[in-house]
Structure 1
Amino acid sequence: MNFYRQNSDLELARLIAEDDPQAFGEIYQRYKGVLFLHAYRMLGDDDEAKDILQELFTVLWVNRKQIKLHTSFSSYLYKALRNRIFDAIAHKKVEQKYIESLAWFMEEGECVTDQQIREQELTQIIESEISLLPPRMREVFEMSRNTDLSYKQIAEELHISDKTVKKQVSSALHILKHKIDLVFIVVLISLKM
Structure 2
Amino acid sequence: MAIYSEFSDAELMLLLSGSDGLAFAEIYQRYTGALFIHAYRILGDEEEAKDVIQELFAVLWIKRNTIVLRTSLSSYLYSSVKNRILDLIAHKKVEDRYVRSLGRFIDEGEYVTDQQVREKELSELIEREVALLPPRMREVFELSRRDNLSYKEIAEELNISDKTVKKQVNSALSILRQKLDIAFLCAFFLRFL
TM tier relative to shorter chain: 0.7 to 0.9
Question: Residues 1-193 of structure 1: matches in 2 within 5 Å?
Answer: 2-17=2-17, 20-41=20-41, 42-46=43-47, 48-61=48-61, 62=63, 64-70=65-71, 72-191=72-191
Identity of aligned residues (%): 58
Could you tell me how far apart the structure 2 residues matched to 1:93 and 1:45 are? Answer: 19
Bigger drift between 161-170 and 132-141 goes to: 161-170
Cα deviation code 1:70-115 (max 9, x no counterpart):
3x32232112112101211220121122112112212211111111
Unmatched segments (≥5 aa) in structure 1:
none
Cα deviation code 1:163-185 (max 9, x no counterpart):
21122112212222233233334
Provide the secondary structure at the position in 2 that maps to 1:60: helix
Following TM superposition, where does structure 1 have runs of at least 4 consecutive aligned residues deviating by more than 6 angstroms? none
Cα deviation code 1:109-163 (max 9, x no counterpart):
1111111111112112212221222221111101222224333332233221232
Alpha-carbon contact 1:141-1:168 (below 8 Å) kept: yes
Bigger drift between 51-60 and 74-83 goes to: 51-60
Could you tell me how far apart the structure 2 residues matched to 1:43 and 1:173 are? Answer: 67
Alpha-carbon contact 1:130-1:138 (below 8 Å) kept: yes
- Please provide the CA RMSD for this pair: 2.6
Query: Letter of the aligned partner of 2:45 in structure 1?
Result: G
Q: Normalised by the size of structure 2, how large is the TM-score?
A: 0.82
Cα deviation code 1:1-34 (max 9, x no counterpart):
6432111223323443465443333212211233
Unmatched segments (≥5 aa) in structure 2:
none
Q: Normalised by the size of structure 1, how large is the TM-score?
A: 0.82
Query: Letter of the aligned partner of 2:162 in structure 1?
Result: D
